[in-house]
Amino acid sequence: MLARFTLFAALALAGAFATRSTLFASTRQAPPTTQTPAAPDITSITGDWIYVEDRSPGRPVDQQRPSMGARFGLRVEADAIIVVQGTAAQPYDVRLHLDGSTSELKLRGAVSQYSGGWRNGVLEYRARIETPGRDGPQISESLARFEPRPEGLLVRVSFEKPSVLEFVALYRRPQDIPLPTPAPAKIDAVAWMSGAWVGTQGLAALDERWSPAAGGALMGTSRTIARGNMVAFEFLRIVERDTSLVYVAQPNGAPPTEFTLVELGERRAVFLNPRHDFPQRISYELSADGLTLTALVGHTNGGRPQRFEFRREGR
């Protein structure tokens, strides 16, 4: 299921900032007269950060989402702090010059300007994007604030144009996120997933095929076909490990990502990996008549999961 869900990490927010440094031409404008103070402890923000939960006041659970994408990184160079965003396959760098100067990036007609620095122990990141439009340039402005806390990194993103919005979310380094407690099970407990399953998502055709349970494992494959072409595929397996089960996904032949079984019912199984960006939670459920297999993928906490329904092939 993993291959079809990686686009979730590329939220609309990413477009409000710069893009990958190798794709852009970059210039620096004159710094302001007031220099940005040095960070009191730069190690408090460096490293990779994973979305944990939405802290936006009053936001309904089904509307919760990351403020800065599902995963991002922060690193320090001699003259800048680098914010690494995007997906593992398509990362891009946002460069915040330590002298407070503004950078300008250009891509496909859009012009992005951004700057940042430390203010009262918080890293601030301001972006202004100008995009060509039919009725003239479209402008968006936003401000991101990274606040180190004992529980992790609180990231507040405020959109000032074209509308006023604010998203607040807590992030933690992967190693600081507790791993789930495995639910005891043998491979026969998920034998109901075996079979050939087909479905649709918009204009795309989907299928998943799971082998019978044998040798302590189920083996699976999936593919997505759009406009007559295979646009995604995945190697899958569920294997016994110690006293539980592990769901292993390799989207488009990528290195494996593992999810631990945390809930098990007669026709339902839930797998979790809170240290992954997206998805963090994968569940399968079989209908009472055995003809429909429903998969849900999403974050560990909050948000509306993506839903995929498959029918048994030939039925």
The string of pLDDT tens digits covering residues 29-87 is 444 434 444 445 777 899 999 999 999 999 999 999 999 999 999 998 888 888 998 77
The string of pLDDT tens digits covering residues 248-274 is 999 998 999 999 999 999 999 999 999
Question: 54 and 144 share a domain?
Answer: yes
Question: 202 and 303 share a domain?
Answer: yes
Question: 220 and 169 share a domain?
Answer: no
Question: If pLDDT is split at 50, 70 and 90, which confidence band does 121 have?
Answer: confident
More confident residue, 98 or 101: 101
Question: 139 and 227 share a domain?
Answer: no
> 291 lies in a domain?
yes
Select from 176, 208, 224 the last residue of a domain: 176
Answer yes or no: are the C-beta atoms of 311 and 197 closer than 8 Å. yes
| DSSP3 helix / strand / coil % (the chain, rounded to 5) | 10, 55, 35
Question: 84 and 134 share a domain?
Answer: yes
CA 56 remoteness from chain centre: 18
Tokens of 131: 């995009």
> 182 lies in a domain?
no
Q: What is the pTM of this model?
A: 0.84
Q: What is the CATH number of the domain that holds 270?
A: 2.40.128.20
> 181 lies in a domain?
no
Answer yes or no: are the C-beta atoms of 112 and 102 closer than 8 Å. no
Instruction: Report in angstroms the alpha-carbon separations of 95 from 133, 152, 279.
Output: 26, 22, 28
CB neighbours (10 Å) of residue 124? Answer: 18
Question: 21 and 157 share a domain?
Answer: yes
Question: 55 and 169 share a domain?
Answer: yes
Question: 46 and 135 share a domain?
Answer: yes
Answer yes or no: are the C-beta atoms of 298 and 304 closer than 8 Å. yes
Q: Residues for the chain: how many in total?
A: 315
Q: Which stretches within the chain are classed as H helix?
A: none
Query: What mean pLDDT is reported for the chain?
Result: 86
> 249 lies in a domain?
yes
Structural domain of 109: 2-6+12-176
Question: 42 and 163 share a domain?
Answer: yes
DSSP annotation of 302 reads: S
Residue 6: helix, strand or coil by DSSP?
helix
Rg (alpha carbons) of the chain, rounded to whole number: 22
CA distance 21 to 14: 14
Identify the pLDDT of residue 27.
Answer: 36
Answer yes or no: are the C-beta atoms of 140 and 112 closer than 8 Å. no
Number of domains in the chain: 2
Question: 193 and 170 share a domain?
Answer: no
